[in-house]
């Protein structure tokens, strides 16, 4: 069950968790989506505060940001996205309850999931790969989820002088919704894999 490498890309993830207690994945399983395409997932997580974990598969891990207000389909909204530790790719399928006293204790549901395209790859100049885009602090992806569709930008603003602070912004395209897009987390609150609400998953906590 335990992971042998203590200095790989998942070192921070592994160090925070006791896998004899939490049902979260240890890594090493899972992989890319259909036809080898990279996956994204948004997990609704009720830990000490409710937030949405936005994750993109990049280079064999899930690059991850915690979004307190969740994503919006309105380009008018700029949602704080706090960079957190890389997660294993098989975390994308995780739905369940992290036990009390464990890191991130509380229920998790797969709020949205699908595959994505790196929009930077098609640009004339600037960063091309996802790794380059993240290093440059400006990521543009097209999401193909059940709830989230079309372009999204992640911009490394470092607001408040905090290295971890990015913004998640819906790009303007045919999927954008200025009128009702801000409320997608309330309008469509439940899991896309099980149909369950976060309260149902968290029952018996
Ligand atoms: Mn979380």
- Each of the 205 residues of the chain gets a pLDDT tens digit; together they read 444 456 688 999 999 999 899 989 888 655 567 777 899 999 999 999 999 999 999 999 999 999 999 999 999 999 999 999 999 999 999 999 999 999 999 999 999 999 999 999 888 887 789 999 999 999 999 999 999 999 999 999 999 999 999 999 999 999 999 999 999 999 999 999 999 999 999 986 5
**Token duo for residue 116:** 């994505």
Angle at 112 between CA 111 and CA 116, to 5 degrees: 155
Ligand 1 centre distance from Cα of residue 86 (Å): 12
Rounded CA-CA distance 76/177 in Å is 9
Could you tell me the CA-to-CA distances from 63 to 35, 82, 134 in Å, in that order? 20, 11, 9
Ligand 1 centre distance from Cα of residue 66 (Å): 6
Handedness of CA 25, 109, 111, 160 (dihedral sign): negative
Indicate the helix (H) or strand (E) that contains 107. strand 106-118
Ligand 1 centre distance from Cα of residue 124 (Å): 35
The residues spanned by each domain of the chain are: 11-202
Indicate the helix (H) or strand (E) that contains 14. helix 11-15
Ligand 1 centre distance from Cα of residue 138 (Å): 22
């Amino acid at each position: 069950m335990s992971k042998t490498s203590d200095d790989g890309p998942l070192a921070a993830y592994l160090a925070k968790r006791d896998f004899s207690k939490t049902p979260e994945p240890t890594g090493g399983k899972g992989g890319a989506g259909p036809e080898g395409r990279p996956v994204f997932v948004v997990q609704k997580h009720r830990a000490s505060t409710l937030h949405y974990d936005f994750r993109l598969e990049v280079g064999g891990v899930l690059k991850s940001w915690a979004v307190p207000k969740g994503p919006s389909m309105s380009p008018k909204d700029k949602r704080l996205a706090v960079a957190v530790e890389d997660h294993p790719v098989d975390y994308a399928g995780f739905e369940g309850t992290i036990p009390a006293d464990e890191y991130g204790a509380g229920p998790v549901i797969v709020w949205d999931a699908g595959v994505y395209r790196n929009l930077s790859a098609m640009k004339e100049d600037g960063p091309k790969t996802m790794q380059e885009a993240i290093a440059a602090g400006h990521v543009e992806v097209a999401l193909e989820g059940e709830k989230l569709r079309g372009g999204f930008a992640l911009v490394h603003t470092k607001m408040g002088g905090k290295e971890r602070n990015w913004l998640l912004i819906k790009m303007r395209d045919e999927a954008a919704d200025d009128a009702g897009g801000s409320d997608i987390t309330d309008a469509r609150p439940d899991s896309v894999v099980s149909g369950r609400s976060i309260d149902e998953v968290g029952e018996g906590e």
